[in-house]
Amino acid sequence: MSTRIYTKEVMEHFRNPHNFGKIKNPDGIGRVGNIICGDVMYIYIKVGRNNKKREIIKDIKFETFGCVAALATSSVITDLAQGKTLDQAMMIGKSRITKSLGGLPPIKLHCSVLAVDALSEAIYDYLSKNKKQIPGDLKLKHDRIQKELNIIEKRYQEYTNLEKEILNNVPKNKKKK
Amino acid sequence: MAKQKIYLDYAATTPVDPRVVKAMTPFFTENFGNTMSLHSLGQKAKQALEKSREVIADLISAHSSEIIFTGSATEANNFALKGMAFAAPSKKKHIIISSIEHPCIMESAKWLEKQGFKIDRLKVDREGLISPARLRKLITKDTILVSVMHANNEIGTIEPIKEIGQICRRKGVFFHTDATQSFGKIPINVKEMNIDLLTASAHKMYGPKGVGCLYVKRGVPLTPLLHGGGHELGFRSSTVNVAGIVGFAKATELCRKEMKKEQKRLTRLRDKLTKELVDRVEATQLNGSAKKRLPNNVNLAFSFVEGESMVIELDLLGVATSTGSACSSDKLLPSHVLLAIGLKPHQIHGSLRLTLGRWTTEKDIDYVIKVLPQVVRRLRKISPYKKSEI
């Protein structure tokens, strides 16, 4: 049974993912991964303030194309980040995710990195759009993610163009089959 | 948990037919002799071995002395490539394979490359077919061997074996074909097809695991990989796996008897499954060839869903399938076969293989037709790729 590869927690998130979908007019979007590697994760956030007037993640949703582990890590990070202050959300690391899922197979550990990256990018997007100060760590992370993306994009120009075409504007009448 | 238990991964391995188990059983217990022993127990085992050899040779119109039993198809394929390479005159260094061979051929070739051999890998078209014309051009006076699989394990494409055999014969080079997926499923005649070496495996055709064979046409020079007591005419030393081989022969006999009927039955189920799924699920296409295809193979690309997720969810619903997707295996590389036929990453990642077999029923197929579209739809709902395309 598949449950041998994945823990009960992973399977539960895979079967019933929490917070999937889009947020209308999000305050920040984090897009990571690519179709060539086989995992694509989008995280949407809405930022609000708690009663101490600190900025918190008021709402969070995800959309993911990927394997069981990728779906589970996306689902679990939205749970972990919900209601947290931005500072707290930025502290969520891959080990926290893996722990919440009762572990991941070694070969799937990168999926937890992907989830952390997606959330970081969403927060980065929010901060930079609102001309707020961006913590040094977050900036470094953002640069690393973008650099990786550029490498892949260069290597697979043809495919990434196709990906963009599909994501952005495929005419309705061009439906296949 | 799911009530259904539907196995659609017959290309990975098959259950052993109870009739095969029955034939094998005495060779574990009362007829346990070593084929090299002179006493009657040994001779009984030897007799069973030789009888089995005949049954298997007969299926492909070979002579029984041309069958060498091995421990697996992987061993037989390694043996064919390396054995031929080592046996060739030292100036001959060239081997041609196709670009969609099973990893045991791909890796053997890669290893031989490191030993100084020159390997050419034939490209395939969108259906997975090699071009005989291109093959003809690639053969030189230094070519030792051409190895092109009979039917592909992922997409089920049946290669033009007879044509390849003819070209090789005319050019005077040896021809090996890996028939692991086709043996017992579709007719093979090594004489008519000009095949010099052929690989088969028992566990893909309702026989036990751990038994394969290599057909080697008489007079083909081959260097053994395993040296020892001189079993299998000195080609493959190892105490003979009599029970396994008896099972292999019984499985062969059953496949032979039922081949025509089974071919027809499975082709119909295959085409129904393909058609219904392509019709019901948007952005779905058949990978490989519609016509030149194994009767039991369906391989579909469901764009924008990830293969492993599909396999795991189907498993929860009681359906066993497999994928050519990166995440499915322990290497994070997309299938070389799907890449070779020119699929785009979003199609490769969403490819699912469903392989039918002896115990697949119409009811099973109907169930899959019902649940698989739901699985794809759910995963697409979570995926960021859905809206614009579908």
Q: Give the closest of A31, A67, A156 to B309, CB-based.
A: A67
The pLDDT confidence band at residue A173, using thresholds 50, 70 and 90, is very low
- Residues B211-233: what's their mean pLDDT? 96
Res A170 pLDDT > 50? no
CATH 3.40.640.10 fits B18-254, yes or no: yes
Q: Is the pLDDT of residue B259 over 60?
A: yes
The confidence band for A172, taking pLDDT boundaries of 50, 70 and 90, is: very low
Tokens encoding A169: 């504007």
Does the structure show a pLDDT above 70 at B165? yes
Interface check for A30 against chain B (CB to CB < 8 A): the answer is: no
What is the tens place of the pLDDT at every residue in A24-57?
A: 999 999 999 987 778 899 999 999 999 999 999 9
Selected from 3.90.1150.10, 3.40.50.1220, 3.40.50.620, 3.40.50.720, the CATH number assigned to the domain covering B6-14+259-389 reads: 3.90.1150.10
Q: Closest Cα of chain B to A53: distance in Å?
A: 33
| Mean pLDDT to the nearest integer, B148-169 | 98
Q: Where in chain B are the domains?
A: 6-14+259-389, 18-254
Tell me whether residues A20 and B381 touch, CB distance under 8 A: yes
pLDDT at B346: 82
Residue that has been written with the tokens 């689902």 in this structure: A75
Say which amino acid occupies B53. R
Q: Do A6 and B325 make contact, defined as CB atoms within 8 angstroms? A: no
Q: Which residue has the higher pLDDT, A43 or A169?
A: A43
Chain B residues near any Cβ of chain A (below 8 Å): 278, 282-285, 304-309, 311-313, 315-316, 325-327, 330, 332, 334, 344-346, 349, 381-385, 388-390
Q: Residue B323: its pLDDT value, please?
A: 87
Q: Which residue of A has its CA nearest to B314?
A: A2
Residue of A nearest to B384 (CA): A63
A20 at B interface, C-beta within 8 A: yes
Instruction: Tell me the whole-structure pTM to 2 decimals.
Output: 0.91
- The secondary structure of chain B, three-state, reads CCCCCEECECCCCCCCCHHHHHHHHHHCCCCCCCCCCCCHHHHHHHHHHHHHHHHHHHHCCCCHHHEEEECCHHHHHHHHHHHHHHHCCCCCCEEEEECCCCHHHHHHHHHHHHCCCEEEEECECCCCCECHHHHHHHCCCCEEEEECCCECCCCCEECCHHHHHHHHHHHCCEEEEECCCCCCCCCCCCCCCCCCEEEEEHHHCCCCCCCEEEEECCCCCCCCCECCCCCHHHCECCCCCHHHHHHHHHHHHHHHHHHHHHHHHHHHHHHHHHHHHHHHCCCEEECCCCCCECCCEEEEEECCCCHHHHHHHHHHCCEECEECCHHHCCCCCCCHHHHHCCCCHHHHCCEEEEECCCCCCHHHHHHHHHHHHHHHHHHHHHCCCHHHHC
Contact present, B290 and B272 (Cβ < 8 Å):
no
Q: Is A111 a catalytic residue?
A: yes
Residues of B in contact with A156 (CB under 8 A): 345
Average pLDDT, chain B: 94
- Most confident by average pLDDT, A2-16, A158-172, B371-385: B371-385
Which of the following is catalytic: A8, A15, A22, A37?
Answer: A37
Question: Residue B327 and residue A67: Cβ atoms within 8 Å?
Answer: yes
Q: Using the predicted structure, report yes or no on whether residue B30 has a pLDDT greater than 70.
A: yes
pLDDT tens by residue, B101-118:
999 999 999 999 999 999
**What DSSP character marks residue A104?**
-
Confidence check: pLDDT of B377 > 50: yes
| Cα–Cα distance, B290 to B288 (Å, whole number) | 7
Inform me whether the pLDDT recorded for B318 exceeds 90: yes
Q: Which of B383, B386, B390 has the most A C-beta neighbours within 10 Å, making it the best mutation to test the interface with A?
A: B383
Contact pairs from chain A to chain B, CB under 8 Å: 99
pLDDT per residue over A114-166, tens digit each? 999 999 999 999 999 999 999 999 999 999 999 988 887 777 776 666 666 65
pLDDT at A7 over 50: yes
Rounded to whole angstroms, the Cα distance separating B74 from B269 reads: 30
The answer, yes or no, to whether residue A5 has pLDDT greater than 90, is no
Q: What is the DSSP letter of A132?
A: -
Distance from CA of B348 to the nearest CA of A (A): 9
User: What ipTM was estimated for this complex?
Assistant: 0.85
Q: What is the spatial distance between Cα B257 and Cα B143, in angstroms, rounded to a whole number?
A: 38
Residue B237 has pLDDT above 70, yes or no: yes
How high is the pLDDT of residue A176? 40
pLDDT for A36 = 77
Lowest mean pLDDT among A86-100, A160-174, B11-25: A160-174
Whether A12 and chain B come into contact, CB under 8 Å, resolves to no
B349 → closest Cβ in A31, A35, A167: A35
pLDDT the model gives residue B328? 46
Give percent above pLDDT 70 in chain B: 95
Neighbouring C-beta atoms of residue B205, cutoff 10 Å: 24
Q: Give the minimum alpha-carbon distance from B22 to chain A in angstroms, rounded to a whole number.
A: 28
Per-residue model confidence (pLDDT) at position B98: 98
| Confidence tier at B243 by pLDDT (50, 70, 90) | very high
Indicate the pLDDT class of residue B334, thresholds 50, 70 and 90: confident
Residue A13 C-alpha, separation from nearest chain B C-alpha, in angstroms: 12
Q: Cβ separation of B383 and A63 shorter than 8 Å? A: yes
Q: What percent of chain A has pLDDT over 90?
A: 73
**Do A39 and B316 count as a contact with CB atoms less than 8 A apart?**
no
Quick: pLDDT tens for B69-96.
999 999 999 999 999 999 999 999 999 9
Tell me: pLDDT of A1 over 80: no
A37: annotated active-site residue = yes
Using CA atoms, how far residue B36 sits from B55, B63, B239, B244, B283, in Å, is 21, 22, 8, 17, 59
Per-residue confidence (pLDDT) for residue A161, from 0 to 100: 67
Q: State pLDDT tens for residues B44-63.
A: 999 999 999 999 999 999 99
What is the dotted CATH code of the domain comprising A2-166? 3.90.1010.10
φ, ψ of residue A115 to 5 degrees: the values are -65, -45
